Amino acid sequence: MEIKPLAFESLGVRSQATFIETKDVRILVDPAVSLAPRRYGLPPHQREVDRLTELAKVITEKAREADIIIVTHYHYDHHDPGFIIPKDIYKNKKVFIKDPKENINMSQKRVRAPRFLNSIHGLPESIETAEGKEIQIGSTKIIFSQAVPHGADERLGYVVQVAIKDGDQTILITSDIEGAPKDQHLEFTLKVKPNVIIIDGPLSYLLGYALKQEDLDNSIKNLERVVKEGAETMIVDHHVLRDLNYKTVLSNVYEIARSVNAKVMTAAEFLNTEPLILEARRRELFKEENKPARIPRNLAQLLTAGGQ
């Protein structure tokens, strides 16, 4: 199995886009990228837009190779109705989506999911809701969870987790569970027993605002549990990499991993590159070079709609 993170916060943008290839099938999960409209009272820096443009091209190229595209929910860093990623990546693909009508919040149900489905209408070979399904392709099995809350606050909606097994190993992509603050978030993990897990990490940069200390503590405890339960490699990225102090936030998880000979790393480190953290360094970027981004029209549409 080949696992290739395409775009993550440690690679410079908001995303969790991942390409997985087995001997039977090529799968792309969440082909989208976005930026924070404002952070620290600052707009995106030009370096962020340059990186987003670069990684959007990477996602587009890998999407054309994919047989299956999966959309785990309808935040703009996980799906794209054509703002940045071309809609034609869905042409002749088998597409599995988070149910657009059940276990979904109002903004996604009324606006984002219908807009996305209308944008790709007539392009895919097939579109199916993902929740609870298992698909066998040769020796590869794709297993979808039931919908689980987007972190501790169900008002942010629900996501679908996806596990891919090829007989040799199992990868689980949790989507946005914000580090698993609820035991419900771990049920699918404990069921599929992944060797490799890609998990988004807690919203520690919003502690005291959109994240309670209790939920942060629960997330860390559950991340430790995943490592203890046998995950050999944990890629922790996405939300937690919006915090410059992410290594401190995850310090106990790193310690537990060392004690059981497991690896905890960012997507960049999984690719053997140094993390390229841009959003969390926006103040620093503007001090180095006061260069607000020239926002392309398509990106402006996304930022106006709200990056998440």
Assess if residue 294 is contained within a domain: no
Give yes or no for residue 308 having a pLDDT over 80: no
pLDDT tens digits for range 77-105? 999 999 999 999 999 999 999 999 999 99
pLDDT of residue 87: 95
CB atoms closer than 10 angstroms to residue 294: 10
* Domain of residue 190, residue span: 2-289
pLDDT of residue 140: 98
Q: What percent of the chain has pLDDT over 70?
A: 99
pLDDT of residue 298: 80
pLDDT tens digits for range 190-246? 999 999 999 999 999 999 998 999 999 999 999 999 999 999 999 999 999 999 999
What are φ and ψ of residue 302, in 5° steps? -65, -45
Give yes or no for residue 52 having a pLDDT over 70: yes
Domain with residue 101: its CATH number is 3.60.15.10
pLDDT of residue 303: 75
pLDDT tens digits for range 126-173? 999 999 999 999 999 999 999 999 999 888 899 999 999 999 999 999
Higher pLDDT pick, 162 / 299:
162
pLDDT of residue 15: 98
Distance CA 4, CA 6 (A): 6
Assess if residue 306 is contained within a domain: no
pLDDT of residue 229: 92
Give yes or no for residue 296 having a pLDDT over 90: no
Place of tokens 């190229």: 61
Assess if residue 129 is contained within a domain: yes
Give yes or no for residue 75 having a pLDDT over 80: yes
User: Per residue in 47-79, is it b (16+ CB within 10 Å) or e — as a string?
Assistant: bbbebbeebbebbbebbeebebbbbbbbbbbbb
pLDDT of residue 306: 64
Give yes or no for residue 34 having a pLDDT over 90: yes
The answer to whether 71 and 85 have CB atoms below 8 angstroms apart is no
Q: Which two tokens stand for residue 147?
A: 């919908």
Angle 20-12-294 from CA coordinates, rounded to 5°: 125
Kindly indicate the confidence band of residue 307, based on its pLDDT and cuts at 50, 70 and 90.
low
Assess if residue 304 is contained within a domain: no
Q: Taking all residues of the chain, what is their mean pLDDT, rounded to a whole number? A: 96
pLDDT of residue 297: 80
Sheet holding 196-199, edge to edge: 134-137, 140-144, 162-165, 170-173, 196-199, 233-236, 263-265
Domain count, the chain: 1
Q: What percent of the chain has pLDDT over 90?
A: 93
pLDDT of residue 63: 97
Assess if residue 76 is contained within a domain: yes
Assess if residue 308 is contained within a domain: no
Assess if residue 305 is contained within a domain: no
The answer to whether 152 and 215 have CB atoms below 8 angstroms apart is yes
CB atoms closer than 10 angstroms to residue 36: 22
pLDDT of residue 82: 94
pLDDT of residue 234: 98
